[in-house]
Amino acid sequence: TPGALLGPAEIRDLAGRLGVRPTKTLGQNFVHDGGTVRKIVRAAGVRPGERVVEIGPGLGSLTLGLLEAGASVVAVEIDPVLAGQIVETVRAHLPGADLEVVRADALDVTELPGKPPTALVANLPYNVAVPVLLTFLERFDSLERVLVMVQAEVADRIAAVPGSKVYGVPSVKAAWYAGARRSLNIGRTVFWPVPNVDSALVHLERREPPVTTATRQATFAVIDAAFAQRRKTLRAALSGTFGSGPAAEAALRAAGVDPGARGETLGVEAFARIAEQLPQGWV
Ligand code: SAM
């Protein structure tokens, strides 16, 4: 049914009728190209009947694509006007489709109604893309995979490997939960309004976290400290965390890490080994 998805005229018409003026703060760029929506849904490998969580359904472009593929969707939208409209839009396009809408800031959502979702599929609001991604992987164990559209540079960063120029906090933290792969580039013209950045898809597959006695919080604290001053050696960057330079040096040696190295060369397992050296009950 080619008519199931939203095209340019309908996106504008809907926005006009609702008085929606897309805001940058909420990252409101709506996809008006059905081909792009179907590419995302295909890349996500959504199965009929699968429970999918979508963040920021907006006017419903991707939501309709997910529902068209037979998914059962729970969508979290912060904008009350959009959250209120989407059920109507879906009723008109795909009557009987299985959609639940949660009107909330995704970062505040600690539980979701219905069956636990196995996939997160979204065209993420760009300002909060990384925190939303990490928060959902942390809070919802049921999520097996994630397919999100983000700013191209952010996609590169999430999927970066140790030693690469763009490797940083989002890369290591995402690696705690999942293996990430950058996939398709998406041009600007599929959006209304046209954004001033390029976009790309990132695919994440959940895997076991590193085998460690350190908590996720302790490991993330070490990661934050190591990257807070990118140019510093780990010995210097972690001296505050461990109380002194010599203490940091001893901890790094005990973890099998060169104190003169920089954080950007280490994988998540090494950060977990360093965190194991923190005093018990640290975080
Ligand atoms: N999925 C739609 C599409 O592809 O056309 C819209 C995507 S648009 C890039 C991002 C959407 O996220 C907007 O609808 C915006 O209102 C919503 N949003 C922004 N910040 C949010 C937050 N913290 N929690 C939930 N939704 C948010």
Closest CA to 122 of 76, 168, 181: 76
Q: What is the whole-number distance in angstroms between the Cα of residue 52 and the centre of ligand 1?
A: 16
Confidence of residue 17 (pLDDT cuts 50, 70, 90): very high
pTM comes to 0.95
For residue 57, how many other CB atoms are within 10 A of its CB? 28
Give the pLDDT confidence score for residue 283 in this predicted structure.
Answer: 67
What CA dihedral angle connects 138, 168, 190 and 38, to 10 degrees? -50
To the nearest whole number, what is the mean pLDDT of the chain?
Answer: 95
What is the position in ligand 1's atom list of the atom closest to the CA of 79?
16
DSSP secondary structure letter of residue 107: G
The stretch 29-35 carries a mean pLDDT of: 95
Beta strands per DSSP E along 168-241: 178-186, 191-192, 199-206
Least reliable range by pLDDT among 8-17, 62-71, 168-177: 8-17
Residue 141, annotated ligand binder? no
Structure confidence by residue, pLDDT tens digits, 150-162: 999 999 999 999 9
Give the whole-angstrom CA distance, residue 61 versus residue 28: 12
Closest CA to 227 of 152, 283, 173: 173
Q: What is the whole-number distance in angstroms between the Cα of residue 117 and the centre of ligand 1?
A: 19
Q: What is the whole-number distance in angstroms between the Cα of residue 95 and the centre of ligand 1?
A: 23
What is the position in ligand 1's atom list of the atom closest to the CA of 58?
14
Which helix (H) or strand (E) is 278 found in, with range? Answer: none
- Given a cut of 60, is residue 126 above it in pLDDT? yes
Confidence of residue 215 (pLDDT cuts 50, 70, 90): very high
Structure confidence by residue, pLDDT tens digits, 134-145: 999 999 999 999
Give the whole-angstrom CA distance, residue 137 versus residue 131: 10
Q: What is the whole-number distance in angstroms between the Cα of residue 160 and the centre of ligand 1?
A: 25
The SS3 call for residue 60 is coil
Give the pLDDT confidence score for residue 231 in this predicted structure.
Answer: 87
Rounded to a whole number of angstroms, the CA Rg of the chain reads: 21
Q: Is the CB of 146 under 6 A from ligand 1?
A: no
Structure confidence by residue, pLDDT tens digits, 38-86: 999 999 999 999 999 999 999 999 999 999 999 999 999 999 999 999 9
Q: What is the whole-number distance in angstroms between the Cα of residue 189 and the centre of ligand 1?
A: 18
- Given a cut of 90, is residue 281 above it in pLDDT? no
DSSP secondary structure letter of residue 257: -
Give the whole-angstrom CA distance, residue 197 versus residue 29: 11
Q: What percent of the chain has pLDDT over 90?
A: 94
Q: Is the CB of 41 under 6 A from ligand 1?
A: no
Residue 185, annotated ligand binder? no
Find the length of the chain.
Answer: 283
Give the pLDDT confidence score for residue 186 in this predicted structure.
Answer: 97
Give the pLDDT confidence score for residue 1 in this predicted structure.
Answer: 46
Residue 105, annotated ligand binder? yes
Which helix (H) or strand (E) is 119 found in, with range? Answer: strand 119-123
Q: Is the CB of 56 under 6 A from ligand 1?
A: yes
